[in-house]
Amino acid sequence: MNDSRFSRRGLIGAGLAAAGAGVGAVAGVAGSAAATGVDPFTADANGDESIDLSQSVPFYATAARQPQGGIRTTPQRHCVFMVFDLTASTATELQVLLARWSAAIAQLQAGRTIGSVEPAHGDGVGADTGEALDLGPASLTVTVGLGPGVFDERFGLAAKRPAHLAAIPALPSDTLDEQLTGGDLSLQACADDPQVAYHAVRDLARMARGTATVRWTVIGFGRASAGPTQSTPRNLMGFKDGTRNITTDDEYDRFVWLDDDAGWMAGGSYQVVRKIRMNLETWDADVVSDQQRVFGRTKVEGAPLSGGSEHTAPDFHARAPHGTEGGTAIDARSHVALAAHENNGGVKILRRGYNYTDGLNQYGQLDAGLLFAAYVNDPEHFTTLQRKLGASDRLNEYVSHIGSGVFAVPPAPRKGSYVGEQLFH
């Protein structure tokens, strides 16, 4: 357990390239240790893995244009995502909420409560609900996003609207539930302990009372596999997911972070979130050869059907004797072919996803799927890709996009400031 506790999981993913939407990355290789200086994972020579729950991720920026945590941070094992509608009528109320949230998140990420759990003599309501006491920071990050509604006529902030922030348009094969779509503010709380993530969102929601109401939420989990040679996590369809995700500084700069042209948003990003239901019982009844054709990869190894191993680049021109659209080894309507950057003008999106399990649906079938988040410097990159996937992807038979939201994610604040402060100058 000890010899290699400093070998960093984040580095395992180095060299992977990225592309793919629809059903995207489940945790895993999206981050790099360098981004935060924190990597709670350790692995021994046998691939056994354990998590150090005493790790904490700093909230405040120490340099200009530094992103919030939870984007490049090595994906933690649990995520609670919550979307709010603003009920406030003035910019000042929004300002106060963002300032209070920021101060609270800084405390939570350090593993502290956000105030007294037990006021003197028990008189008064606790500032913190207490269920994460003694649990440690567990690498918690809470990422704050601002939806299009923040910049509508209500708050006088239209002039500050981030250039590419607009509601995601209707896309082919959308089956969106209005109650799981849209919203003015988002919180993405990720941690290596589910109670730490839930506590954070619960107590932040509590602070929002009178200013914002909860609109929708998704609670997810995911983890990379145990072996250092097989680090890509699997989605609930049993396939590795995230093999070609973004990893390098250059890719982050080109596809994720907003540059100085973005003004007050420089160093920030856009967050596109989809709740994607998987029809698991139908999927489970499909023969594996067809499942492989749908993804364009083998199930166990994750190798492209054009040959090689997991990290071999797919060859979309390799021929196959029969049985695929286009006569190629990788079906032209497979998920990997449609999503690949080679087939999308070089565009990549950073995917950060978690599996969710909502119990049973009204038919007594498993209600589960993927909480999919993409971080992009232009939401149009997602929209373009999903328009294509929604029209043609063989995976569409087995998935439904039931929730959707888009949010601008400002850069991290400096100490003494708060997320989005530049909005109010």
- Pick out residues in 300-329 that bind a second copy (CB under 8 A): 300
Told to check if 184 binds a second copy by CB under 8 A, we report: no
Residue from 48, 59, 49, 85 nearest 40 by CA: 49
∠ CA 90-151-58 to the nearest 5 degrees?
90
Residue 309 CB, shortest distance to a second copy, in Å, is 14
Q: How far is the CB of 59 from a second copy (least distance, A)?
A: 20
Interface with a second copy (CB under 8 A), residue from 117, 166, 320, 402 = 117
Regarding 402 and contact with a second copy (CB under 8 A), the answer is no
Span near a second copy by CB under 8 A; candidates 16-24, 166-174, 195-203, 306-314:
195-203
Residues 6+ apart with CB under 8 A from 244: 16, 17, 18, 19, 20, 340, 341
Span from 140-148, 191-199, 313-321, 338-346 in contact with a second copy (CB under 8 A):
191-199
What's the burial of 35, exposed, middle or buried (CB within 10 Å: 0-12/13-18/19+)? buried
- Contact pick of 103, 205, 266, 402 for a second copy (by CB under 8 A): 205
CB of 114 to a second copy, least distance (A): 13
Query: Per CB under 8 A, does 284 bind a second copy?
Result: yes
Please tell me whether residue 249 binds a second copy under the rule CB under 8 A.
no
**How many residues in the shown chain lie near a second copy by CB under 8 A?**
81
Binders in 62-81 for a second copy, by CB under 8 A: 78, 80
Q: Which tokens belong to 149?
A: 């509604």
Whichever of 109 and 377 has its CB closer to a second copy, that residue is 109
Q: Which of 274, 59, 295 is nearest to 177 (CA)?
A: 274
Query: Considering the complex, what minimum distance in angstroms separates the CB of residue 132 from a second copy?
Result: 8
Segment contacting a second copy (CB under 8 A): 57-65, 292-300, 306-314, 401-409? 292-300
Query: What is the rounded CA–CA span in Å between residue 291 and residue 311?
Result: 19
Nearest approach in angstroms of CB 275 to a second copy is 11
217 is a site residue for a second copy (CB under 8 A): yes
Q: Which residues ranging from 334 to 363 are in contact with a second copy (CB under 8 A)?
A: 355, 357-360
3-state secondary structure of 131: coil
Q: How far is the CB of 226 from a second copy (least distance, A)?
A: 5
Q: Which residue do the tokens 């083998």 mark?
A: 298
Using CB under 8 A, pick the residue from 194, 254, 332, 400 that binds a second copy.
194
DSSP string, 43-94: E-TT--EEE-TT-----SBSSTTPPPTTSSSPPPSEEEEEEEEE---SHHHH
Question: Using CB under 8 A, which of 76, 211, 235, 344 touches a second copy?
Answer: 235
The answer to whether the beta carbons of residues 209 and 96 sit under 8 Å apart is no
Per DSSP, the three-state class of 285 is coil
CB of 155 to a second copy, least distance (A): 22
CA angle 40, 266, 214 (to 5 degrees): 65
Smallest separation (angstroms) from a second copy to the CB of 421: 28
Which range, of 98-106, 159-167, 233-241, 378-386, touches a second copy by CB under 8 A? 233-241
Q: Are 40 and 10 in contact (CB under 8 A)?
A: no
Residues 131 to 170: which contact a second copy by CB under 8 A? 131-136
**What is the Cα–Cα distance from 337 to 318, expressed in whole angstroms?**
12
Cross-strand bridge partners of residue 354: 371
Interacting residue with a second copy among 61, 96, 112, 126 (CB under 8 A)? 126
Indicate the residue among 119 and 263 with the shorter CB distance to a second copy: 119
48 binds a second copy (CB under 8 A): yes
Our CA angle for 331, 236, 30, nearest 5°, is 80
Closest listed residue to residue 272, CA positions, set 145, 411, 176, 141: 145
